[in-house]
Amino acid sequence: MRGRAAEIADPGAFDWEVVWEALKTEPPAEDPSTITQELGLGEEQEIIQDTADMPATEFSGTRQGRRVALRMGVVPSMWRGRGVYEVHVEAPVAPFRLRADDGRLVAEPGALPEFDAFLEGLAPAPDVWREVVVEGGPEGILARRPVTAHPQGYVYDLWLVERLADQLGA
């Protein structure tokens, strides 16, 4: 599956390790700079937070011609002290919002009709999509979920934001 993420129609059918392998775009390094180096996210930096006592970490890089950032342990003030995973792809799109609902991803009212067939193609996967929220707009596409929702949920989120960017031609 290495490097074949675009061929996955529904990641909920796979364990996170399979999706992780499919997301790899870079050859293995003898001495990798980060744990995400093979994903093309070889830049690592600590994020100092005003909303929490603990630092978060950002892994970033360029994937498929787009800047991508994976942030672990971020504590947005609106989440009342809960740490989250964030996956952000810099791909300006028309505003939209998706959220998890009973194991499925659903579009909020007013979302683009392009999402209908895409979302219908994803089987219910309560563990995979638990508590994820995805928002798109001029700054790009951001998936966010509590770290307690799924230990490797960010793997599925990276697949998702990239497929949404592809779907919207961003």
Structure tokens given for 45: 């930096």
- The pair of structure tokens assigned to 103 is 């194991």
- Where do the structural domains in the chain lie, given as residue ranges? 5-167
Run of H or E including 137:
strand 133-137
Given a contact cutoff of 8 angstroms between Cβ atoms, the answer to whether 102 and 81 are in contact is no
Which own/partner pairs from 54-57 qualify as long-range (CB within 8 Å, at least 24 positions apart)? 54/83, 56/83
pTM of the predicted model, to two decimals?
0.92
- What is the largest distance, in Å, between two alpha-carbon atoms of the chain? 48
- Whether 85 and 154 have beta carbons less than 8 Å apart is answered as yes
**Sequential pLDDT tens for the chain (170 residues):** 899 999 999 999 999 999 999 999 999 888 888 889 999 999 999 988 876 777 789 999 999 999 999 999 887 655 566 788 999 999 999 899 999 999 999 998 876 777 788 899 999 999 999 999 999 999 999 999 998 888 899 999 999 999 999 988 76
Q: How far apart are the C-alpha atoms of 132 and 163, rounded to whole Å?
A: 15
CB distance 45 to 58 below 8 Å: yes
Is 121 exposed, middle or buried (CB count within 10 Å of its CB: 0-12, 13-18, 19+)? exposed
